[in-house]
Chains A and B, each alone.
Chain A
């Protein structure tokens, strides 16, 4: 299929005729493909786990010039609807207002593994760039044929193909007349380098922002369907509990209530949410519980159940060994799990908030014994996820209830359910041992992570022969993904340990790091942040302290500097100031990227200072905001984010990396202020005793 031309890999011989004022947009790669294509339903939606090669699966241009882009990614607040629109507008090029993104709809968008791992910018953006470039080249070909001119004399600009020599131009929609462009997405259609971006790379505001400030946007939990009732599930008394007896008579007797009981699944469906809550309260259930690991036994349990856990082997007179721990934390997306399910015969439509629309479809198919082709999952722009919405629990429950009662059902988890029955970020134990020379060169490094994960395990420093291992263990709580996952735990341990080494060697913590870092991108973020922060330039006020951390995650280099204030009378630790420098290649939208940095710092502060899921014997002890503290306005420091744009480098994803530096920077700042070394997250759930 490759041609020597850098422009068009498709076969232009099959390009059909022009007629009247317009064009029939039908051309084919080859006959076999043409037949396959004509037999597909739009080239979208169905199929296996691959990216469809057909352009029309990704992009269609209506007769009025509206460009519709299809992507399986989900918007959860990263503002990728905006940044991906910029990418397409840049590459076609077309006016921003002419571009509409259809996202996360399994019936309309190409299959996608899900929105996680900071993959949208490094992976989906280049894909859509290729899509737009392919479309542009196809449109140029159409215009060249229509006007009988050489295609090199044509230019695409602002939704039009222009022939400057004859002062002619034609809109994209006039060329396509709303027909699909029947070509495959080309790897060789030329794309603009970041250095030439005019629309991408700018701080375009959230593209559908008005819908959010007016309350017009419908999240999954806002969807209403005719005849819809409200569901509520009865949760067991503890994890792993089994039902012994159920008396549902009082609930079943309530007008406007139906009780659904299928094995251990007990739920009610009612005319209103309020009635559903009353009916759930009227159920009398008896559960058999079994003893389970509680929080005080957690870290010993993780070590005991870990696979391949050797003793730490670094040995030398100068060896520093320490153990660090991180607690389970909850994502607590402000929009809890929610779904609306509607059956039409044996076909199911579910609206839900999720990072994995296609994954939820697979879950639904398995749980309900329905083929995936009968299921449509629609994910409206969602009330956040942070790695916490990879699963489709509410979708499955709503679908079961809708089928049981024969009407559409909405199910919105309560905050207590979200805290208890979702999943948590893994807790972990980390052993570190290191050796360094007197002038600050690390000569041996060993890092063992029990349970929390392997992300960010390897030190991004020039440590010779470093040994790093992740030891999976048996978690007493259901655990799963979280923004940056274990990179937070591993960076906390590593960057705290480095601070300890620096102090032991009486070296400046910044200098010590720089001695062990050759990578120029790493040095650049440290230098930029140190300068802005005024590292070692401002005289320390009493009970103030400063700390720093360097990190590397998903290809983004991060330097975080924090200043804390300690109130010795009350034990209150306040983070007063944070400077963060971040370099993740070419920046697609500086304003939204800064927003991610700021938000990650605030979110990371919660886990750094006070967030922990408390649990005992199969029960969560703090399943409410009253008991599980999250950062608020009064916890927010002054945040200064420096973006080091590198248009010469590919864009790395950036939704996660900015969270990894704040915990060690704050912990190191607390040591700087007080001499107290804290090695467990959260650092000060009950304040600091000094």
Chain B
């Protein structure tokens, strides 16, 4: 397999030269200096590495960068627009929905994907959708509140 030389990330075409088998997570972090996406387990079990690929949340630790092609990647660094935070980023702040915050990027990316698909999720729907994301500090109740807060604030995250 030839090396990956181009990735579409956060609205920009980014040049790289990465072995196609390398995880997308490592290419984002080490080659493109987008370290907001975190390594938590490397096994697809914790969700800390969640990014959006054409709007769909994926575990970047288990996604070979060669599988992305022309699809558009969104990372935590790409959520704010012109210095304005995404409604869910604001809601995480307002609800104090973090402690060590190492899970926060992955939580927000999963939450953004949920709100795009389901603008007014019920508690049960949030729990089901977010259950693959681990917060070891146990801030789940606040994250749930933040997602509901963002849904209400933006009429479904459509900011």
Which A-chain residue is minimally distant from B79 (CB atoms)?
Answer: A214
With the chains together, A382 CA to B136 CA distance in Å?
13
B104 contacts across to A, CB distance below 8 A: 212-213
B30 contacts across to A, CB distance below 8 A: 224, 230, 272-273
Q: How large is the interface on A (under 10, 10 to 19, 20 to 34, 35 or more residues)?
A: 35 or more
| A599-B85 contact, Cβ under 8 Å, with A212-B104, A625-B43 | no
A221 at the interface (CB under 8 A from B): yes
Stretch in A19-27, A299-307, A426-434, A627-635 touching the partner: A627-635
Which A-chain residue is minimally distant from B98 (CB atoms)?
Answer: A212
Q: Which of B133-148 contact A (CB under 8 A)?
A: 133-144
Partner of A218, one of B35, B93, B100, B130: B35
Q: Are B140 and A626 in contact (CB under 8 A)?
A: no
A215 at the interface (CB under 8 A from B): yes
With the chains together, A218 CA to B102 CA distance in Å?
10
Q: Are A598 and B43 in contact (CB under 8 A)?
A: no
B94 contacts across to A, CB distance below 8 A: 205
Partner of B43, one of A206, A217, A624: A624
Shortest distance from the beta carbon of B39 to any chain A beta carbon, whole Å? 6
Q: Are B131 and A598 in contact (CB under 8 A)?
A: no
Which B-chain residue is minimally distant from A603 (CB atoms)?
Answer: B138
Q: Are A598 and B136 in contact (CB under 8 A)?
A: no
With the chains together, A216 CA to B105 CA distance in Å?
10
Which of A214, A215, A332: most chain B CB closer than 10 A? A215
Partner of B37, one of A215, A334, A639: A215
B89 at the interface (CB under 8 A from A): yes
Partner of B46, one of A334, A634, A639: A334
With the chains together, A206 CA to B85 CA distance in Å?
16
With the chains together, A598 CA to B130 CA distance in Å?
18
Q: Are A591 and B140 in contact (CB under 8 A)?
A: no
Stretch in B17-25, B52-60, B151-159 touching the partner: B17-25
With the chains together, A228 CA to B89 CA distance in Å?
32
Shortest distance from the beta carbon of A272 to any chain B beta carbon, whole Å? 6
Q: Are A384 and B102 in contact (CB under 8 A)?
A: yes
Shortest distance from the beta carbon of B107 to any chain A beta carbon, whole Å? 10
| A625-B144 contact, Cβ under 8 Å, with A384-B102, A595-B99 | no
Partner of B99, one of A79, A214, A336, A632: A79
Q: Are B33 and A76 in contact (CB under 8 A)?
A: no
A224 contacts across to B, CB distance below 8 A: 30, 33, 35
Which A-chain residue is minimally distant from B23 (CB atoms)?
Answer: A274
Which A-chain residue is minimally distant from B132 (CB atoms)?
Answer: A632
Partner of A632, one of B29, B36, B105, B134: B134
A209 at the interface (CB under 8 A from B): yes
B43 contacts across to A, CB distance below 8 A: 415, 624-626
Which of A78, A591, A636: most chain B CB closer than 10 A? A636
Shortest distance from the beta carbon of A582 to any chain B beta carbon, whole Å? 15
Q: Are A626 and B100 in contact (CB under 8 A)?
A: no
B42 at the interface (CB under 8 A from A): yes
Which A-chain residue is minimally distant from B124 (CB atoms)?
Answer: A634
With the chains together, A272 CA to B93 CA distance in Å?
34
With the chains together, A601 CA to B140 CA distance in Å?
11
Q: Are B98 and A598 in contact (CB under 8 A)?
A: no
A600 at the interface (CB under 8 A from B): yes
Q: Which of A326-356 contact B (CB under 8 A)?
A: 332-336
Q: Are A382 and B26 in contact (CB under 8 A)?
A: no
- 0/1 string, B96-124, CB within 8 A of A gives 1: 10111111110010000000000000000
With the chains together, A632 CA to B141 CA distance in Å?
10
B38 at the interface (CB under 8 A from A): yes
| A222-B138 contact, Cβ under 8 Å, with A214-B77, A215-B76 | no
A205 contacts across to B, CB distance below 8 A: 93-94, 96
With the chains together, A365 CA to B143 CA distance in Å?
42
Q: Are B37 and A626 in contact (CB under 8 A)?
A: no
A219 contacts across to B, CB distance below 8 A: 38, 102
With the chains together, A213 CA to B89 CA distance in Å?
6
Q: Are A415 and B105 in contact (CB under 8 A)?
A: no
With the chains together, A86 CA to B159 CA distance in Å?
33
With the chains together, A630 CA to B37 CA distance in Å?
21
With the chains together, A77 CA to B142 CA distance in Å?
15
| A625-B45 contact, Cβ under 8 Å, with A209-B93, A274-B26 | yes
Q: Are B23 and A384 in contact (CB under 8 A)?
A: no
B7 at the interface (CB under 8 A from A): no
B80 at the interface (CB under 8 A from A): yes
Q: Are B136 and A333 in contact (CB under 8 A)?
A: yes
Which of B46, B48, B101, B132: most chain A CB closer than 10 A? B101
A592 at the interface (CB under 8 A from B): yes
Partner of A212, one of B19, B101, B128, B135: B101
Which A-chain residue is minimally distant from B144 (CB atoms)?
Answer: A633
| A630-B136 contact, Cβ under 8 Å, with A219-B102, A334-B46, A335-B102 | yes
A384 contacts across to B, CB distance below 8 A: 99-100, 102, 136-137
Shortest distance from the beta carbon of A347 to any chain B beta carbon, whole Å? 26
Q: Which of A380-414 contact B (CB under 8 A)?
A: 381-384, 386, 412, 414
Shortest distance from the beta carbon of A560 to any chain B beta carbon, whole Å? 14
Q: Are A335 and B38 in contact (CB under 8 A)?
A: yes
- 0/1 string, B74-89, CB within 8 A of A gives 1: 0111011000010001
Q: Are A630 and B98 in contact (CB under 8 A)?
A: no
Shortest distance from the beta carbon of B99 to any chain A beta carbon, whole Å? 4
Which A-chain residue is minimally distant from B65 (CB atoms)?
Answer: A274
A575 at the interface (CB under 8 A from B): no
Q: Are B89 and A214 in contact (CB under 8 A)?
A: yes
A596 contacts across to B, CB distance below 8 A: 99
Q: Are A624 and B41 in contact (CB under 8 A)?
A: yes
Which B-chain residue is minimally distant from A223 (CB atoms)?
Answer: B35
Q: Are B98 and A334 in contact (CB under 8 A)?
A: no
Q: Are B93 and A639 in contact (CB under 8 A)?
A: no
Shortest distance from the beta carbon of B66 to any chain A beta carbon, whole Å? 12
Q: Are A77 and B101 in contact (CB under 8 A)?
A: yes
Q: Are B138 and A631 in contact (CB under 8 A)?
A: yes
A210 at the interface (CB under 8 A from B): yes
Q: Are B42 and A415 in contact (CB under 8 A)?
A: yes
Q: Are B39 and A633 in contact (CB under 8 A)?
A: no
With the chains together, A300 CA to B56 CA distance in Å?
51
Partner of A633, one of B38, B96, B140: B140
Partner of A600, one of B39, B100, B138: B138
A592 contacts across to B, CB distance below 8 A: 96
Which B-chain residue is minimally distant from A626 (CB atoms)?
Answer: B45
Give me 30 A-to-B residue pairs in the complex whose CB atoms sit less than 8 angstroms apart, sorted by A's number: A76-B100, A205-B96, A206-B93, A206-B101, A209-B92, A209-B93, A213-B76, A213-B98, A214-B77, A214-B79, A215-B105, A219-B102, A274-B22, A274-B26, A334-B40, A334-B46, A336-B40, A384-B136, A386-B136, A595-B142, A599-B137, A624-B41, A624-B43, A625-B46, A625-B134, A631-B140, A633-B140, A633-B144, A634-B127, A634-B128
The 3 closest A-B pairs by CB, nearest first: A215-B36, A602-B138, A77-B100
For the complex with contacts A334-B38, A632-B131, 9 further pairs of A-B residues with Cβ separation under 8 Å are A212-B101, A215-B34, A215-B37, A272-B30, A334-B46, A334-B135, A598-B138, A599-B99, A633-B143
Q: Which residues of B contact A (CB under 8 A)?
A: 19, 21-23, 26, 29-30, 33-43, 45-46, 48, 75-77, 79-80, 85, 89, 92-94, 96, 98-105, 108, 126-128, 130-144
